[in-house]
């Protein structure tokens, strides 16, 4: 994650694009790329894991769009002064506490739906 963040920071600096890469613009750019990912799945119905019916071209296109989402996400986090690698680990620890495997195994219910 840190390598990708650094490479994108270099890419942006080299082009004098920091002036455009404020948090709101990065958020909108990221959402735009999420839209491009969605477009690839649009109207196909459910898609099985591994995307067995997709062509190589479609798979490559998807890999590009997912990459764009991640690139903007990492830069957005940086510009918001969120240490994303650390924050993700903390959040995953919180998720484990909120959803103990022994309690929720095999159920997709949200934690608020459990009575205890």
Residues binding ligand DCP (CB under 6 A): 12, 17, 20, 36, 68, 71
Beta carbon nearer to ligand DCP, 27 or 36: 36
Please, what is the minimum distance in Å from the beta carbon of residue 93 to ligand DCP?
Answer: 30
Beta carbon nearer to ligand DCP, 34 or 104: 34
Question: How would you class 72 by CB atoms within 10 Å of its CB: exposed for 0-12, middle for 13-18, buried for 19 or more?
Answer: buried
Beta carbon nearer to ligand DCP, 20 or 41: 20
Residue 77 and residue 84 in contact, taking contact as beta carbons nearer than 8 Å: yes
Please, what is the minimum distance in Å from the beta carbon of residue 54 to ligand DCP?
Answer: 17
CA 50 vs CA 47, 67, 86, 101, 104: distances in Å: 8, 17, 29, 26, 26
Please, what is the minimum distance in Å from the beta carbon of residue 55 to ligand DCP?
Answer: 17
């Amino acid at each position: 994650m840190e390598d990708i963040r650094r490479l994108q920071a270099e890419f942006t600096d080299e082009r004098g694009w920091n002036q455009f890469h404020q948090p709101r613009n990065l958020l909108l750019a990221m959402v735009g790329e999420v839209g491009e990912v969605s477009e690839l799945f649009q109207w196909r119905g459910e898609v099985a894991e591994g995307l067995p019916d997709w062509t190589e071209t479609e798979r490559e296109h998807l890999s590009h769009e997912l990459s764009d989402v991640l690139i903007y996400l990492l830069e957005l986090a940086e510009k918001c002064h969120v240490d994303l690698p650390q924050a993700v680990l903390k959040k995953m620890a919180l998720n484990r506490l909120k959803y103990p495997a022994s309690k929720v195994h095999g159920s997709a219910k949200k934690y608020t739906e459990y009575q205890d």
